[in-house]
Structure 1
Amino acid sequence: MGPPTVNAYTPSQVTEIISRAGVHKGRMHPLRVFLSSVSAGCLLSFAAASCLTANTSSWLQENAPGPARLLGAIVFPYGLVLIVLTGADLCTGTFMYTAVSVLHRRLSVWRMLLHWFITFWGNLAGALFMVSIIFGYGGVFGADPYKAEVIVFTTKKQVTPDFHMIFLRGIGCNWLVCLGCFFGMQGRDLTSKIIGIWWPIFAFVSLGFDHVVANMFFIPMGIWVGNPEITVGLYIWKGIIPALIGNILGGALFCGGYYWYMYLYEQEAPLIDGVPYGEHADIEKGGTSSQNLEDVRGLHKFGNGSSLENEARGVSETGA
């Protein structure tokens, strides 16, 4: 019996995969980016709604607020799991992906900013669709105790904290969210990916941090059910601006910038399943050179060729 092995990518390999995925995301057709972002906004809204439902008990809120928050934290991570595994685009995740690609000099700043812009509005469109059509007209939170919980939750989330508090919570939030994406990409099998994603997301929800896309559901839902203390202007000022800026810093700098510097800066890019950067793009497009094609066929002969195609496909279908 041989020594135990770890079936996972190394941190340097994961950072390289993030860089490649950021290039792919930044070069996607804008319509595809928008539709993928709408999907992500919808999927995260399901998780946000589940979080509200889990927090409904007034007794827990008054007597055991910590365990009450943990209940929401247990269920919320499935939202990011759905997004990552279906390849949808969440603006908070793309802050890390595309920033690493720009720092790695593989993507232009213009393409990065355009991708951020489209994913933000796509996420907002998806979340507002869920608020109004599925949960609003669907009456999911239309009666107590669910309506009362939405009002209490959104007041604590939006009215009580100061601007700088939401900003700082936004940094911590997307730091953890992008770590969830990082761990999810590190695993090679589905179970490892789900577990890797779950715990950082559990952490940010249990700590009460602010995620700009989650707020796209939470706060408009509070407005929909008639929270008298929240207006659209207040939502933009405290629900979007500080959380968005904090999320950008948490994802692009604290997570993406750090791992780029540690593993890619002034270092040779690691191979991913034996594939160097550039060839994975050729394989993805089906346009390998004759020499590369012979290399792929040779690897197939020894049972490794499929990893080239799988790696390219995995990069192109990376979500969040």
Structure 2
Amino acid sequence: MDYIKPQDVLEQMVAAGAAKAKLAVKDLLVRGFLGGAILAFATTLAFTATTQTKLGIVGSLVFPVGFVMIILLGLELVTGSFALIPLAVLEKRATVGEMLRNFTWVILGHIAGGVVYAGLFYAAVTNLGHSMDHAVVQFIVKTAEAKTNGYSALGLDGMIAVFAKALLCNWMVTLGAVMAMTSSSTWGKIAAMWLPILTFFAQGFEHAVVNMFVIPAGMMYGAHVTFGGWWLWNQIPVLLGNFAGGVLFTGILLYVTHAKKEHAGLRKQTKAA
């Protein structure tokens, strides 16, 4: 059997968080760059499927391919780390400084990866601007405007909505990272992590790394979005919501229930001895 029990998964979560916190800046940037670019590939794949079929669920079914590649290759995805590194800090196997260092450099890598892919995608599908009516390009433009101007038009309600969508999103995304740890086989990992990633994308929740591609790409392709609008009405609240969802609903709650049982079992063994 390749199934790994939850208590053992929890230990993997802490160990993974500790290892990520110790990575060199070079590795954080490179792995963050690749993670951002691969997720951008998956996003345009999903948008292609959606525009071709007119069914959003089809795009959602194929989007997890990017997450799978990132996890299996051991790359960095800051949203997944939001559940893992805080546990390492809690267990005193990493420091707050190391955690913030990871988040900062990986985010910079994600943005670079997303922007580089946006430029290459633009060159590939528009013939360097000669075919701006490409369906996916127009879809990206509309999505970028909806993810920024759409929220700003609602004021405080928009800010609350984008935060809630980000929180719900990363509850699932971090579960994807954790579910990959429930199997020791490649196919088992793929099947397990596919489920929560499909769940978040199909419902239109807000993922910070996806947005690090979609919004700057939309701006590059002609969306009426300002740099300040990108960060104020999406990127900052989405990062905060993603962090809250990952650390609270996946990291802390799994820690509370499974660490308690694990420690209780150890106490019983000690008494018996």
Specify the TM-score bucket, using the shorter chain as the normaliser.
Answer: 0.7 to 0.9
Which whole-Å CA distance do the structure 2 matches of 1:144 and 1:43 have between them? 21
Q: TM-score, normalised by structure 2?
A: 0.88
Equivalent in the alignment of 1:220: 216
Which whole-Å CA distance do the structure 1 matches of 2:85 and 2:125 have between them? 38
State the structure with more CA Rg. Answer: 1
Matched residue type, 2:170: N
Which whole-Å CA distance do the structure 2 matches of 1:171 and 1:204 have between them? 11
Equivalent in the alignment of 2:159: 163
Equivalent in the alignment of 1:186: 182
Which whole-Å CA distance do the structure 1 matches of 2:64 and 2:199 have between them? 10
- Number of aligned residue pairs: 256
Work out which of the residue numbers 75, 88, 101 in structure 2 matches 1:114.
Answer: 101
1:252 aligns with 2:247: yes
**CA distance 1:7–1:266, change in 2 (3 Å):** closer
Structure 2: stretches of 5+ with no match in the other structure: 152-157, 267-273
* Same amino acid, percent of matched pairs: 30
Note the C-alpha offset of 1:54: 1.8
Confirm or deny: 8 A CA contact 2:165 2:205 kept in the other structure.
yes
107-116 or 259-268, larger mean C-alpha shift: 259-268
Equivalent in the alignment of 1:95: 82
Confirm or deny: 8 A CA contact 2:176 2:196 kept in the other structure.
yes
161-170 or 135-144, larger mean C-alpha shift: 135-144
48-57 or 150-159, larger mean C-alpha shift: 150-159
Matched residue type, 2:85: T
Which whole-Å CA distance do the structure 2 matches of 1:157 and 1:257 have between them? 29
Matched residue type, 1:135: F
Equivalent in the alignment of 1:50: 45
Which whole-Å CA distance do the structure 2 matches of 1:100 and 1:72 have between them? 33
**CA distance 1:163–1:79, change in 2 (3 Å):** same
Which whole-Å CA distance do the structure 2 matches of 1:181 and 1:150 have between them? 26
Q: Secondary structure at the match of 1:217?
A: helix
Confirm or deny: 8 A CA contact 2:44 2:136 kept in the other structure.
no
Which whole-Å CA distance do the structure 2 matches of 1:115 and 1:227 have between them? 31
Please list every run of at least 4 consecutive aligned residues from structure 1 whose deviation after the TM superposition is greater than 4 angstroms: none
Q: Secondary structure at the match of 2:121?
A: helix
Equivalent in the alignment of 2:5: 10
**CA distance 1:188–1:73, change in 2 (3 Å):** same
| Mapping for residues 255-294 of structure 1, pairs under 5 Å | 255-265=250-260, 267-268=262-263
Confirm or deny: 8 A CA contact 1:11 1:186 kept in the other structure.
yes
Structure 1: stretches of 5+ with no match in the other structure: 1-5, 61-67, 272-320
Confirm or deny: 8 A CA contact 2:125 2:134 kept in the other structure.
no
Q: TM-score, normalised by structure 1?
A: 0.75
Q: RMSD over aligned Cα, in angstroms?
A: 2.0
1:118-153 C-alpha deviation (Å, 9 max, x unpaired):
111111111111112x11233358333333222222
Equivalent in the alignment of 1:64: none
Equivalent in the alignment of 1:145: 135
